Amino acid sequence: MPDRPFTLVESLIELTRVLRAAFESRVEKHGLTYSRARLLTTIGRNEGASQAQLAALLGIETPTLKRLLDALEAQGLTERRPMPEDRRKHAIYLTEAARIEPLLGFRAEVDVALAHGIAPQDLAVTRRTLAQMALNAERLRQG
């Protein structure tokens, strides 16, 4: 449906939009969104990290992270604990509720579904190409 002919940028943005919608239709029954699920799994693999560390791991800014974390905390899935050695920081942990919920496998599942019908070597090429484009975009930003 989108404006043709596609440029690469167009198809990227289009795909991201469809992707997000697909993912969210999968996890919404758990009260999650794509971004929150991503944060949740990242916390699970890095328990005790500070908010700044989590934001860096996710590649987002700290105000964005704060909003996502507030939502997870309101759902009772995570908690902030004080850090005695630095009273500015919070150490972020999963609660028991988060461990019980079958939430952590979703992302891998989506990745598998997404790669369906694509040759492994094509996936490798795509991965490499996307990485190069990210570099080009970074350069474009400065230059």
- Binding site partner of 86, from DNA, a second copy, none, Cβ cut-off 5-8 A by kind: DNA
Three-state DSSP state, 78: strand
Query: Rule CB under 7 A: is residue 50 a binding residue for DNA?
Result: yes
Query: Rule CB under 7 A: is residue 21 a binding residue for DNA?
Result: yes
| Contacts of 88 by beta carbon, 8 Å cutoff, 6+ apart | none
Within 13 Å of residue 114, how many CA atoms lie on the same side as its CB? 15
Q: Report how far residue 60's alpha carbon sits from residue 19's, in angstroms, rounded to the nearest whole number.
A: 19
Of 4-12, 62-70, 93-101, 114-122, which segment contacts DNA by CB under 7 A?
62-70
Q: How far is the CB of 139 from DNA (least distance, A)?
A: 16
Cβ proximity of 24 and 30 under 8 Å: no
Query: Rule CB under 7 A: is residue 81 a binding residue for DNA?
Result: no
Question: What is the contact surface with a second copy in residues (CB under 8 A)?
Answer: 1-3, 6-9, 11-19, 21-23, 25-26, 38, 42, 45, 56-59, 107-108, 110-111, 113-118, 122-123, 125-134, 136-141
Cβ proximity of 34 and 20 under 8 Å: yes
Q: Report how far residue 66's alpha carbon sits from residue 51's, in angstroms, rounded to the nearest whole number.
A: 8
Output 2 or 117, the one with its CB closest to DNA.
Answer: 2
Residues forming contacts to DNA in the complex (CB under 7 A) are 17, 21, 33-36, 50-53, 59-64, 66-69, 71, 80, 85-90
